[in-house]
Amino acid sequence: MIGFDEIRKLAQVTPSKILLLVMDGIGGLPHPDTGKTELETANTPNLDKLAAESICGMTYTVSPGITPGSAPGHMSLFGYDPLAYQFGRGIVEALGLDIEVGPGDVVVRGNFCTVDDDGIITDRRAGRIPTEESKGLCDILNSGVSVPGVQVDFFAGKDHRFVLRLRGRGLSHHVADTDPQHEGMRPLAPESLDSSATRTAQIAAEIVSQASALLKEKHPANMFLLRGFSEHPDYPSISDIYGLTPACIAPYPMYRGVSRVVGMDILPAGETLQDEITALKKNYDSYDYFFLHYKKTDAKGEDGNFDGKVQAIEDYDRLLPSILELNPDVVIVTGDHSTPAGLAGHSWHTIPVLLKARYCRRDDVTAYSEKACLRGGLGVFPAMELMPLAMANALKLNKFGA
Protein backbone atom coordinates (compact mmCIF):
# COMPACT_ATOMS: atom_id res chain seq x y z
CA MET A 1 0.00 0.00 0.00
CA ILE A 2 1.05 3.56 -0.64
CA GLY A 3 3.03 5.17 2.19
CA PHE A 4 2.63 8.47 3.96
CA ASP A 5 5.55 10.07 2.11
CA GLU A 6 3.81 9.53 -1.20
CA ILE A 7 0.36 10.48 0.10
CA ARG A 8 1.79 13.72 1.46
CA LYS A 9 2.90 14.69 -2.06
CA LEU A 10 -0.52 13.92 -3.54
CA ALA A 11 -2.83 15.41 -0.90
CA GLN A 12 -4.43 18.76 -1.53
CA VAL A 13 -6.65 20.93 0.62
CA THR A 14 -10.16 21.45 -0.74
CA PRO A 15 -13.45 22.50 0.89
CA SER A 16 -14.91 18.98 0.61
CA LYS A 17 -15.79 17.16 3.82
CA ILE A 18 -15.21 13.58 4.93
CA LEU A 19 -17.33 11.95 7.62
CA LEU A 20 -16.22 8.68 9.21
CA LEU A 21 -19.07 7.09 11.15
CA VAL A 22 -17.82 4.26 13.33
CA MET A 23 -20.34 1.89 14.88
CA ASP A 24 -18.04 0.15 17.29
CA GLY A 25 -18.02 -3.64 16.97
CA ILE A 26 -20.72 -3.50 14.28
CA GLY A 27 -19.99 -6.85 12.60
CA GLY A 28 -21.75 -9.86 14.07
CA LEU A 29 -22.62 -13.52 13.71
CA PRO A 30 -25.96 -15.22 13.00
CA HIS A 31 -28.32 -15.82 15.87
CA PRO A 32 -28.63 -19.61 16.26
CA ASP A 33 -32.46 -19.44 16.10
CA THR A 34 -32.87 -17.17 13.09
CA GLY A 35 -29.64 -17.51 11.15
CA LYS A 36 -29.49 -13.72 10.95
CA THR A 37 -26.77 -11.46 12.32
CA GLU A 38 -27.51 -8.43 14.48
CA LEU A 39 -27.34 -6.18 11.40
CA GLU A 40 -29.56 -8.52 9.39
CA THR A 41 -32.07 -8.64 12.23
CA ALA A 42 -32.23 -4.91 12.81
CA ASN A 43 -34.67 -2.79 10.84
CA THR A 44 -32.35 -0.27 9.18
CA PRO A 45 -34.11 1.54 6.34
CA ASN A 46 -31.73 4.50 6.46
CA LEU A 47 -28.49 2.51 6.51
CA ASP A 48 -29.85 0.34 3.69
CA LYS A 49 -30.80 3.35 1.59
CA LEU A 50 -27.31 4.76 2.16
CA ALA A 51 -25.74 1.44 1.18
CA ALA A 52 -27.72 1.51 -2.06
CA GLU A 53 -26.15 4.89 -2.87
CA SER A 54 -22.66 3.71 -1.91
CA ILE A 55 -19.82 1.45 -2.87
CA CYS A 56 -19.63 -1.31 -0.26
CA GLY A 57 -17.25 -3.98 0.92
CA MET A 58 -15.91 -5.96 3.83
CA THR A 59 -12.87 -4.83 5.72
CA TYR A 60 -10.47 -6.03 8.39
CA THR A 61 -8.59 -3.54 10.50
CA VAL A 62 -5.46 -5.44 11.47
CA SER A 63 -4.94 -8.61 9.48
CA PRO A 64 -7.15 -11.58 8.54
CA GLY A 65 -7.83 -13.72 11.57
CA ILE A 66 -6.67 -11.08 14.03
CA THR A 67 -9.07 -9.76 16.66
CA PRO A 68 -8.33 -6.04 17.03
CA GLY A 69 -8.36 -4.02 20.19
CA SER A 70 -10.00 -0.63 19.99
CA ALA A 71 -6.77 1.29 19.45
CA PRO A 72 -5.38 -0.68 16.47
CA GLY A 73 -8.91 -0.94 15.05
CA HIS A 74 -9.21 2.81 14.98
CA MET A 75 -5.64 3.50 13.88
CA SER A 76 -6.41 1.39 10.82
CA LEU A 77 -9.62 3.34 10.11
CA PHE A 78 -7.56 6.54 10.37
CA GLY A 79 -5.19 5.23 7.68
CA TYR A 80 -2.33 3.97 9.86
CA ASP A 81 -0.89 0.47 9.65
CA PRO A 82 -1.84 -0.75 13.13
CA LEU A 83 1.07 -3.19 13.14
CA ALA A 84 3.56 -0.37 12.55
CA TYR A 85 1.83 2.30 14.66
CA GLN A 86 1.28 0.63 17.98
CA PHE A 87 1.03 2.17 21.39
CA GLY A 88 0.23 1.08 24.86
CA ARG A 89 -3.14 1.07 26.51
CA GLY A 90 -1.89 3.45 29.16
CA ILE A 91 -1.12 6.23 26.75
CA VAL A 92 -4.48 5.95 25.01
CA GLU A 93 -6.36 6.12 28.29
CA ALA A 94 -4.21 9.01 29.52
CA LEU A 95 -4.73 11.06 26.38
CA GLY A 96 -8.45 10.45 26.51
CA LEU A 97 -8.55 11.86 30.03
CA ASP A 98 -6.60 14.97 29.06
CA ILE A 99 -3.73 13.91 31.29
CA GLU A 100 -0.51 15.66 30.43
CA VAL A 101 2.11 13.15 29.33
CA GLY A 102 5.61 14.48 28.76
CA PRO A 103 8.79 12.93 27.37
CA GLY A 104 10.11 10.34 29.80
CA ASP A 105 6.82 9.90 31.66
CA VAL A 106 5.42 6.40 31.94
CA VAL A 107 1.64 5.96 31.99
CA VAL A 108 -0.29 2.81 32.77
CA ARG A 109 -3.94 1.99 32.58
CA GLY A 110 -5.41 0.62 35.78
CA ASN A 111 -8.60 -1.24 36.65
CA PHE A 112 -9.87 -1.34 40.19
CA CYS A 113 -10.70 -4.98 40.88
CA THR A 114 -11.97 -7.24 43.62
CA VAL A 115 -9.80 -9.85 45.32
CA ASP A 116 -10.81 -12.34 48.00
CA ASP A 117 -9.04 -12.93 51.28
CA ASP A 118 -6.43 -15.07 49.55
CA GLY A 119 -5.69 -12.31 47.02
CA ILE A 120 -7.43 -14.19 44.20
CA ILE A 121 -9.21 -11.94 41.67
CA THR A 122 -13.00 -12.44 41.82
CA ASP A 123 -14.01 -9.49 39.61
CA ARG A 124 -11.51 -7.85 37.25
CA ARG A 125 -13.70 -4.72 37.12
CA ALA A 126 -14.76 -4.37 40.77
CA GLY A 127 -18.43 -4.49 39.75
CA ARG A 128 -17.78 -1.58 37.39
CA ILE A 129 -17.88 0.88 40.30
CA PRO A 130 -19.09 4.35 39.30
CA THR A 131 -16.66 7.04 38.21
CA GLU A 132 -17.29 9.07 41.38
CA GLU A 133 -16.15 6.18 43.53
CA SER A 134 -12.96 5.78 41.47
CA LYS A 135 -12.26 9.44 42.03
CA GLY A 136 -12.42 8.98 45.78
CA LEU A 137 -10.09 6.00 45.61
CA CYS A 138 -7.62 7.89 43.44
CA ASP A 139 -7.62 10.71 46.01
CA ILE A 140 -6.73 8.19 48.70
CA LEU A 141 -3.94 6.71 46.57
CA ASN A 142 -2.57 10.13 45.64
CA SER A 143 -2.36 11.07 49.32
CA GLY A 144 -1.05 7.75 50.54
CA VAL A 145 1.35 6.37 47.93
CA SER A 146 4.84 7.77 47.92
CA VAL A 147 8.06 6.56 46.25
CA PRO A 148 11.31 8.53 46.62
CA GLY A 149 12.52 10.25 43.43
CA VAL A 150 9.32 9.62 41.47
CA GLN A 151 6.18 11.69 41.16
CA VAL A 152 3.26 9.25 41.34
CA ASP A 153 -0.21 10.37 40.20
CA PHE A 154 -3.49 8.49 39.94
CA PHE A 155 -6.20 9.89 37.63
CA ALA A 156 -9.71 8.47 37.75
CA GLY A 157 -11.17 7.35 34.42
CA LYS A 158 -14.61 6.08 33.47
CA ASP A 159 -16.18 3.59 35.89
CA HIS A 160 -13.53 1.29 37.42
CA ARG A 161 -10.67 2.61 35.31
CA PHE A 162 -7.82 4.92 36.20
CA VAL A 163 -4.46 6.02 34.90
CA LEU A 164 -1.22 5.83 36.85
CA ARG A 165 1.44 8.29 35.76
CA LEU A 166 5.06 7.98 36.85
CA ARG A 167 7.25 11.02 36.36
CA GLY A 168 10.96 11.02 37.07
CA ARG A 169 14.37 10.22 35.65
CA GLY A 170 15.39 6.97 34.02
CA LEU A 171 11.93 5.42 33.79
CA SER A 172 11.10 2.83 31.14
CA HIS A 173 7.77 1.50 29.90
CA HIS A 174 9.15 -1.99 29.30
CA VAL A 175 7.23 -3.44 32.23
CA ALA A 176 4.76 -6.33 31.98
CA ASP A 177 1.06 -6.06 32.89
CA THR A 178 -0.04 -7.14 36.35
CA ASP A 179 -3.46 -8.06 34.94
CA PRO A 180 -3.56 -11.84 34.38
CA GLN A 181 -6.63 -11.28 32.10
CA HIS A 182 -8.61 -13.93 33.97
CA GLU A 183 -10.43 -14.14 37.24
CA GLY A 184 -9.48 -16.89 39.69
CA MET A 185 -5.82 -15.89 39.56
CA ARG A 186 -3.67 -13.52 41.58
CA PRO A 187 -2.46 -10.21 40.14
CA LEU A 188 0.96 -10.69 38.54
CA ALA A 189 4.07 -8.91 39.75
CA PRO A 190 5.15 -6.01 37.50
CA GLU A 191 8.14 -7.68 35.82
CA SER A 192 10.70 -5.74 33.82
CA LEU A 193 10.77 -6.81 30.17
CA ASP A 194 14.36 -5.71 29.67
CA SER A 195 17.21 -4.34 31.75
CA SER A 196 16.21 -0.71 31.09
CA ALA A 197 13.10 -1.25 33.21
CA THR A 198 14.49 -2.94 36.30
CA ARG A 199 14.06 0.15 38.44
CA THR A 200 10.65 1.06 36.98
CA ALA A 201 9.41 -2.46 37.73
CA GLN A 202 10.64 -2.11 41.32
CA ILE A 203 8.87 1.25 41.62
CA ALA A 204 5.66 -0.27 40.26
CA ALA A 205 5.92 -3.15 42.73
CA GLU A 206 6.34 -0.69 45.59
CA ILE A 207 3.31 1.28 44.40
CA VAL A 208 1.21 -1.89 44.17
CA SER A 209 2.27 -2.88 47.66
CA GLN A 210 1.41 0.49 49.22
CA ALA A 211 -1.87 0.74 47.28
CA SER A 212 -2.90 -2.75 48.29
CA ALA A 213 -2.69 -1.73 51.93
CA LEU A 214 -4.63 1.50 51.32
CA LEU A 215 -7.42 -0.29 49.40
CA LYS A 216 -7.69 -3.30 51.72
CA GLU A 217 -11.03 -2.28 53.24
CA LYS A 218 -12.50 -0.74 50.08
CA HIS A 219 -14.37 -3.81 48.81
CA PRO A 220 -15.37 -4.30 45.96
CA ALA A 221 -12.50 -2.08 44.79
CA ASN A 222 -9.92 -3.56 47.15
CA MET A 223 -7.11 -3.98 44.61
CA PHE A 224 -6.11 -2.90 41.11
CA LEU A 225 -4.61 -4.34 37.95
CA LEU A 226 -2.17 -2.53 35.65
CA ARG A 227 -2.08 -2.87 31.89
CA GLY A 228 -0.09 -1.23 29.14
CA PHE A 229 2.92 0.58 30.60
CA SER A 230 3.58 3.11 27.88
CA GLU A 231 5.24 6.28 26.69
CA HIS A 232 4.00 9.06 24.46
CA PRO A 233 4.11 7.97 20.79
CA ASP A 234 5.33 10.50 18.28
CA TYR A 235 3.36 9.68 15.15
CA PRO A 236 2.69 11.83 12.10
CA SER A 237 -0.68 13.54 12.27
CA ILE A 238 -3.61 13.23 9.89
CA SER A 239 -3.17 16.89 9.19
CA ASP A 240 0.51 16.41 8.31
CA ILE A 241 -0.13 13.40 6.06
CA TYR A 242 -3.41 14.27 4.39
CA GLY A 243 -3.63 18.05 4.81
CA LEU A 244 -6.94 17.57 6.61
CA THR A 245 -8.30 19.50 9.59
CA PRO A 246 -9.69 16.59 11.59
CA ALA A 247 -12.07 16.49 14.54
CA CYS A 248 -13.12 13.69 16.87
CA ILE A 249 -16.57 13.34 18.41
CA ALA A 250 -16.49 10.47 20.89
CA PRO A 251 -17.99 10.23 24.38
CA TYR A 252 -15.51 7.57 25.56
CA PRO A 253 -11.94 8.44 26.54
CA MET A 254 -10.24 5.57 24.68
CA TYR A 255 -11.42 6.83 21.30
CA ARG A 256 -10.61 10.42 22.09
CA GLY A 257 -7.16 9.23 23.13
CA VAL A 258 -6.43 7.49 19.83
CA SER A 259 -7.81 10.48 17.97
CA ARG A 260 -5.54 12.85 19.86
CA VAL A 261 -2.51 10.71 19.01
CA VAL A 262 -3.21 11.25 15.31
CA GLY A 263 -3.72 14.96 15.84
CA MET A 264 -7.48 15.36 15.81
CA ASP A 265 -9.14 18.19 17.64
CA ILE A 266 -11.32 16.69 20.37
CA LEU A 267 -14.78 18.22 20.37
CA PRO A 268 -17.10 18.11 23.39
CA ALA A 269 -19.19 15.07 22.48
CA GLY A 270 -21.72 14.86 25.31
CA GLU A 271 -23.03 11.45 26.27
CA THR A 272 -25.60 10.34 23.71
CA LEU A 273 -25.60 9.95 19.93
CA GLN A 274 -27.94 12.93 19.78
CA ASP A 275 -25.33 14.95 21.70
CA GLU A 276 -22.70 13.83 19.22
CA ILE A 277 -24.80 14.91 16.27
CA THR A 278 -25.38 18.28 17.91
CA ALA A 279 -21.61 18.65 18.30
CA LEU A 280 -21.11 17.65 14.67
CA LYS A 281 -23.55 20.27 13.44
CA LYS A 282 -22.17 22.97 15.68
CA ASN A 283 -18.62 22.41 14.40
CA TYR A 284 -19.38 21.38 10.85
CA ASP A 285 -17.95 24.48 9.20
CA SER A 286 -14.66 24.37 11.11
CA TYR A 287 -13.27 21.00 9.97
CA ASP A 288 -13.05 18.92 6.80
CA TYR A 289 -12.78 15.50 8.47
CA PHE A 290 -14.97 14.18 11.28
CA PHE A 291 -14.71 10.92 13.17
CA LEU A 292 -17.93 10.17 15.03
CA HIS A 293 -17.84 7.20 17.37
CA TYR A 294 -20.84 5.14 18.53
CA LYS A 295 -20.12 2.82 21.42
CA LYS A 296 -23.41 1.09 22.15
CA THR A 297 -23.16 -1.54 19.41
CA ASP A 298 -19.91 -2.80 20.89
CA ALA A 299 -21.04 -2.54 24.51
CA LYS A 300 -24.14 -4.66 23.86
CA GLY A 301 -22.11 -7.14 21.83
CA GLU A 302 -19.57 -7.45 24.65
CA ASP A 303 -22.44 -8.13 27.04
CA GLY A 304 -23.56 -10.98 24.78
CA ASN A 305 -26.85 -9.11 24.38
CA PHE A 306 -27.99 -9.87 20.82
CA ASP A 307 -31.30 -8.01 21.10
CA GLY A 308 -29.59 -5.09 22.80
CA LYS A 309 -27.15 -4.80 19.92
CA VAL A 310 -30.02 -4.97 17.42
CA GLN A 311 -31.69 -2.16 19.35
CA ALA A 312 -28.47 -0.13 19.37
CA ILE A 313 -28.25 -0.49 15.59
CA GLU A 314 -31.87 0.59 15.15
CA ASP A 315 -31.30 3.57 17.44
CA TYR A 316 -28.40 4.60 15.22
CA ASP A 317 -30.40 4.09 12.06
CA ARG A 318 -33.15 6.36 13.35
CA LEU A 319 -30.76 9.27 13.84
CA LEU A 320 -28.71 8.68 10.68
CA PRO A 321 -30.82 11.04 8.49
CA SER A 322 -30.07 13.97 10.77
CA ILE A 323 -26.36 13.30 10.15
CA LEU A 324 -26.77 12.87 6.41
CA GLU A 325 -28.76 16.09 6.03
CA LEU A 326 -25.39 17.86 6.38
CA ASN A 327 -24.71 16.39 2.94
CA PRO A 328 -21.00 15.62 3.45
CA ASP A 329 -18.99 14.92 0.31
CA VAL A 330 -17.81 11.55 1.57
CA VAL A 331 -19.56 9.40 4.19
CA ILE A 332 -18.10 6.15 5.45
CA VAL A 333 -19.98 3.82 7.78
CA THR A 334 -18.06 0.93 9.30
CA GLY A 335 -16.73 -0.51 12.55
CA ASP A 336 -13.33 -0.92 14.13
CA HIS A 337 -13.90 -4.69 14.45
CA SER A 338 -16.74 -7.14 14.86
CA THR A 339 -18.26 -7.81 18.30
CA PRO A 340 -20.69 -10.69 17.76
CA ALA A 341 -23.09 -11.03 20.68
CA GLY A 342 -22.62 -14.78 20.30
CA LEU A 343 -18.95 -14.38 21.24
CA ALA A 344 -19.54 -11.63 23.81
CA GLY A 345 -16.31 -9.97 22.77
CA HIS A 346 -14.29 -8.50 19.95
CA SER A 347 -13.68 -10.90 17.06
CA TRP A 348 -11.61 -11.31 13.94
CA HIS A 349 -14.57 -11.31 11.54
CA THR A 350 -14.57 -8.81 8.71
CA ILE A 351 -16.66 -5.66 9.03
CA PRO A 352 -19.21 -4.28 6.58
CA VAL A 353 -18.30 -0.90 5.14
CA LEU A 354 -20.03 1.56 2.87
CA LEU A 355 -18.61 4.66 1.23
CA LYS A 356 -20.92 7.21 -0.33
CA ALA A 357 -19.63 10.00 -2.54
CA ARG A 358 -20.60 11.59 -5.82
CA TYR A 359 -18.09 9.55 -7.84
CA CYS A 360 -17.98 6.42 -5.68
CA ARG A 361 -19.08 4.02 -8.47
CA ARG A 362 -22.06 2.40 -6.81
CA ASP A 363 -22.41 -1.35 -6.81
CA ASP A 364 -25.54 -3.52 -6.54
CA VAL A 365 -25.56 -3.67 -2.74
CA THR A 366 -28.84 -2.44 -1.25
CA ALA A 367 -28.39 -3.27 2.44
CA TYR A 368 -25.81 -2.55 5.10
CA SER A 369 -25.04 -6.04 6.39
CA GLU A 370 -22.30 -8.65 6.37
CA LYS A 371 -23.76 -10.73 3.51
CA ALA A 372 -24.87 -7.79 1.40
CA CYS A 373 -21.61 -5.86 1.64
CA LEU A 374 -19.63 -8.93 0.64
CA ARG A 375 -20.99 -8.36 -2.89
CA GLY A 376 -19.73 -4.80 -2.93
CA GLY A 377 -17.33 -3.07 -5.26
CA LEU A 378 -14.63 -2.67 -2.62
CA GLY A 379 -14.22 -6.41 -2.15
CA VAL A 380 -12.56 -7.64 1.05
CA PHE A 381 -9.78 -5.23 1.93
CA PRO A 382 -7.62 -3.85 4.76
CA ALA A 383 -9.24 -0.90 6.49
CA MET A 384 -6.18 1.31 6.28
CA GLU A 385 -6.99 1.67 2.58
CA LEU A 386 -10.16 3.53 3.54
CA MET A 387 -8.39 6.80 4.19
CA PRO A 388 -6.87 7.08 0.69
CA LEU A 389 -10.25 6.01 -0.73
CA ALA A 390 -11.98 8.74 1.28
CA MET A 391 -9.41 11.28 0.11
CA ALA A 392 -9.82 10.19 -3.52
CA ASN A 393 -13.60 10.36 -3.35
CA ALA A 394 -13.36 13.82 -1.79
CA LEU A 395 -11.22 14.76 -4.82
CA LYS A 396 -8.37 15.63 -2.48
CA LEU A 397 -5.64 13.46 -4.09
CA ASN A 398 -3.61 14.37 -7.12
CA LYS A 399 -2.43 11.83 -9.69
CA PHE A 400 0.50 9.60 -8.81
CA GLY A 401 3.35 9.62 -11.33
CA ALA A 402 3.55 10.70 -14.94
Q: Which residues bind a second copy (CB under 8 A)?
A: 1-3, 6, 10, 29-30, 58, 62-73, 82-83, 86, 88-89, 92-93, 109, 227-228, 254, 340, 342-343, 345-350, 359, 361-364, 370-371, 374, 377-381, 385, 387-393, 397-402
Minimum CB–partner distance for residue 275 and a second copy (Å): 25
Q: Toward a second copy, which CB reaches closer, 5 or 285? A: 5
Whole-angstrom distance, CA of residue 11 vs CA of residue 70: 27
Instruction: Count other C-beta atoms under 10 Å from residue 191's C-beta.
Output: 15
Q: Toward a second copy, which CB reaches closer, 228 or 301? A: 228
- The DSSP secondary structure of 290-326, one letter per residue, reads EEEEE-HHHHHHHTT-HHHHHHHHHHHHHHHHHHHTT
Q: Residue 175: which of 159, 156, 185, 188 has the closest Cα?
A: 188
Whole-angstrom distance, CA of residue 378 vs CA of residue 375: 9
Q: Toward a second copy, which CB reaches closer, 10 or 175? A: 10
Listed in sequence order, the DSSP H helices in 69-112 are 70-77, 89-96
What is the crossing angle of helices 253-261 and 89-96, to 10°?
Answer: 100
Minimum CB–partner distance for residue 298 and a second copy (Å): 13
Q: Toward a second copy, which CB reaches closer, 114 or 350? A: 350
Whole-angstrom distance, CA of residue 142 vs CA of residue 131: 16
Minimum CB–partner distance for residue 114 and a second copy (Å): 22
Q: Toward a second copy, which CB reaches closer, 12 or 146? A: 12
Q: Toward a second copy, which CB reaches closer, 1 or 120? A: 1
Minimum CB–partner distance for residue 283 and a second copy (Å): 26
Question: Which amino acid is residue 95, in one-letter code?
Answer: L
CA 149 to chain centre: 34
CB 74 within 8 A of CB 377: no
Minimum CB–partner distance for residue 109 and a second copy (Å): 7
Q: Residue 349: which of 41, 74, 28, 37 has the closest Cα?
A: 28
Q: Toward a second copy, which CB reaches closer, 150 or 337? A: 337
Listed in sequence order, the DSSP H helices in 97-169 are 131-144
Minimum CB–partner distance for residue 12 and a second copy (Å): 10
Minimum CB–partner distance for residue 236 and a second copy (Å): 18
Q: CB-based contacts of 31: which residues, under 8 Å, 6+ apart?
A: 37, 38, 41, 306, 341, 342
CA 362 to chain centre: 29
Q: Toward a second copy, which CB reaches closer, 50 or 373? A: 373
3-state secondary structure of 161: strand
Minimum CB–partner distance for residue 354 and a second copy (Å): 15
